[in-house]
């Protein structure tokens, strides 16, 4: 079946017109925007099954891969035999495939460690559904993915329905030349084990202001490391920034884009290691309406309690995370003075702060508050849990 006829079938145009005359097989990946849109909008396996039949007729090895995966078969042999066709510009790099359904965003010794792969791919329905890449500029290991290969790969048919993309390592460059990736829903920038692989303050991720235009439909964004700049697309539902060197202007920029967010986690970091976040930078976040708010690793912990108590954000919160910071008994007294404002919280995380008197907090919140691993102020005062 010719591609034009296949698209008619896929889009429901199933008239009984005579079939077109035979055409020569299309070159590999000679697919167009109609096919791209149909696959991207598919709610079930049916369009992929039709695609598999057409590709098998055309002699494209992806047809066998799609068919095998739809039937629950093991794709490893096909991925190995047809690596050049299926991995395109990533072929030849050290890579590993992730079993279906496995979460490779979390550290896992089978995919991480001293000898990092350049590529970790999770395949679904014959296409890459999840992709972890280590940029060549990262300091860990050799043979990472060049900017040119990444740009080419995001235009390759194997990533046409890519949903999750992770730029691994601690030194991911900004990669401002990437093509628009409209199918990516989950994006991670920076992915390393702290402190085994890199100290938090050593990480450098550069300028990611292009995220807004490159990943316009990303709804979950997680950043780990020293971020130079970022601009987010509208509609982000979950945003996390883990960094000890957070810049005040980054906080102000993301706050403007998180009106739809239900999950916000931001580490404000340590001035000693380069953070420039001030209380005024954080206040715009308190005008939002998330269900979960985390202001972690913060030297501003005591100062935050008073504005939090009267904020729009607190009224809608189900959980609040102020862990890893420098909250002292002074901040706890302020919180208890506004107990009515905080009493509705289902979860209050105050782990790894500088609290000495915990009885009142436990009495007020019961098992809804977590107070583990406190570090009372010492000779040199208080400090955040993640500095260097």
Do 304 and 282 touch, CB atoms closer than 8 A?
A: yes
Measured CA to CA, the distance from residue 374 to residue 325 in angstroms comes to 10
Q: Which residue has the tokens 């340590």?
A: 270
Q: Locate all alpha helices (DSSP H) within the chain, ordered by sequence.
A: 3-10, 33-40, 46-58, 61-70, 76-81, 83-87, 147-153, 211-214, 248-255, 279-282, 301-309, 312-316, 329-337, 339-342, 359-365
Measured CA to CA, the distance from residue 69 to residue 297 in angstroms comes to 44
**Beta pairing, strands 220-224 & 206-208:** unpaired
> What is the model's pLDDT at position 35?
75
> What is the model's pLDDT at position 108?
53
Domains along the chain with CATH numbers? 3-70 (no CATH), 97-370 (3.80.10.10)
β partners of residue 348: 320, 369
Q: What are phi and psi of 310, to 5 degrees?
A: -105, 15
Measured CA to CA, the distance from residue 313 to residue 42 in angstroms comes to 37
Q: Phi-psi category of 106—alpha, beta or left, where left has phi over 0 and alpha has psi -120 to 50? A: beta
Measured CA to CA, the distance from residue 171 to residue 190 in angstroms comes to 7
> What is the model's pLDDT at position 143?
66
> What is the model's pLDDT at position 101?
61
Do 175 and 145 touch, CB atoms closer than 8 A?
A: no
> What is the model's pLDDT at position 263?
98
DSSP annotation string for 8-60:
HHHTT----PPPPPP-PPPPTT---HHHHHHHHT-SSSHHHHHHHHHHHHHT-
Work out the angle at residue 187's Cα, subtended by the Cα atoms of residues 348 and 74, and round it to the nearest 5 degrees: 110
Work out the angle at residue 255's Cα, subtended by the Cα atoms of residues 249 and 258, and round it to the nearest 5 degrees: 145
| Tokens (6 digits) for 116 | 């990092």
Do 221 and 241 touch, CB atoms closer than 8 A?
A: no
Q: What are phi and psi of 19, to 5 degrees?
A: -65, 150
> What is the model's pLDDT at position 386?
96
β partners of residue 191: 169
Measured CA to CA, the distance from residue 128 to residue 145 in angstroms comes to 16
> What is the model's pLDDT at position 5?
52
Look at residue 80 and give its three-state secondary structure: helix
| Tokens (6 digits) for 319 | 């959980």
| Tokens (6 digits) for 280 | 């005024």
pTM for the structure as a whole: 0.89
**Distance set, CA 244 to CA 240, 276, 295, 384 (Å):** 13, 10, 12, 9
**Cα-only R_g, the chain:** 25
Measured CA to CA, the distance from residue 251 to residue 264 in angstroms comes to 11
Measured CA to CA, the distance from residue 47 to residue 30 in angstroms comes to 17
**Distance set, CA 143 to CA 94, 109, 273 (Å):** 8, 19, 30
**Beta pairing, strands 227-230 & 238-242:** unpaired
Walk along the chain (388 residues) and give the pLDDT tens digit of each residue: 455 555 554 444 444 444 444 444 444 455 566 777 788 888 899 999 999 999 999 899 999 999 999 999 999 999 999 999 999 999 998 888 876 666 655 445 544 544 668 899 999 999 999 999 988 865 555 668 988 999 999 999 999 999 999 998 888 777 888 999 999 999 999 988 888 788 999 999 989 999 999 999 999 999 999 999 999 999 999 999 999 999 999 999 999 999 999 999 999 999 999 999 999 999 999 999 999 999 999 999 999 999 999 999 999 999 999 999 999 999 999 999 999 999 999 999 999 999 998 999 999 999 999 999 999 888 888 999 999 8
- Please choose, from the candidates 128, 124, 134, the residue with its C-alpha nearest in 3D space to the C-alpha of residue 93: 134
> What is the model's pLDDT at position 111?
47
Do 285 and 312 touch, CB atoms closer than 8 A?
A: no
Q: Phi-psi category of 138—alpha, beta or left, where left has phi over 0 and alpha has psi -120 to 50? A: beta
């Amino acid at each position: 079946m010719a591609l034009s006829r296949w698209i008619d079938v896929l889009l429901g145009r199933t008239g009984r017109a005579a079939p077109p005359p035979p055409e020569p097989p299309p070159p590999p990946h000679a697919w167009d925007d109609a096919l791209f849109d149909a696959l991207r909008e598919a709610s079930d396996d049916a369009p992929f099954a039709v695609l598999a039949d057409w590709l098998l007729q055309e002699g494209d090895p992806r047809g066998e891969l799609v068919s095998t995966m739809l039937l629950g078969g093991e794709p490893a042999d096909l991925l190995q035999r047809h690596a050049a066709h299926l991995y395109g510009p990533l072929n030849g790099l050290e890579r590993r495939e992730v079993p279906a359904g496995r979460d490779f965003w979390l550290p896992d010794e089978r995919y991480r460690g001293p000898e990092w792969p350049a590529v970790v791919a999770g395949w679904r329905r014959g296409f890459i559904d999840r992709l972890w890449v280590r940029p060549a500029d990262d300091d860990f290991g050799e043979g990472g993915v060049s900017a040119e290969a990444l740009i080419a790969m995001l235009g390759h048919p194997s990533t046409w329905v890519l949903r999750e993309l992770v730029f691994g390592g601690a030194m991911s460059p900004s990669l401002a030349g990437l093509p628009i990736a409209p199918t990516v829903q989950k994006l991670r920038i920076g992915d390393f084990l702290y402190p085994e692989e890199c100290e938090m303050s050593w990480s450098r991720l550069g300028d990611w202001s292009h995220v807004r235009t490159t990943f316009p439909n990303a709804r979950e964004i997680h950043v780990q490391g020293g971020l130079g700049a970022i601009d987010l697309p509208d509609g982000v539902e979950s945003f996390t920034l883990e960094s000890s060197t957070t810049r005040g202007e980054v906080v102000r920029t993301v706050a403007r884009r998180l009106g739809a967010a239900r999950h916000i986690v931001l580490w404000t970091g340590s001035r000693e290691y380069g953070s420039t976040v001030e209380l005024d930078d954080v206040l715009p976040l308190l005008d939002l309406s998330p269900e979960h708010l985390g202001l972690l690793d913060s030297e501003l912990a005591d100062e935050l309690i008073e504005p939090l108590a009267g904020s729009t954000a607190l009224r809608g919160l189900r959980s609040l995370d102020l862990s890893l910071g420098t909250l002292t008994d002074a901040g706890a007294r302020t919180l208890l003075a506004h107990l009515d404002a905080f009493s509705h919280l289902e979860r209050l995380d105050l782990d790894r702060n500088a609290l000495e008197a915990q009885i009142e907090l436990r009495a007020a919140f019961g098992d809804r508050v977590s107070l583990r691993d406190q570090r009372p102020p010492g000779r040199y005062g208080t400090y955040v849990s993640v500095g260097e």
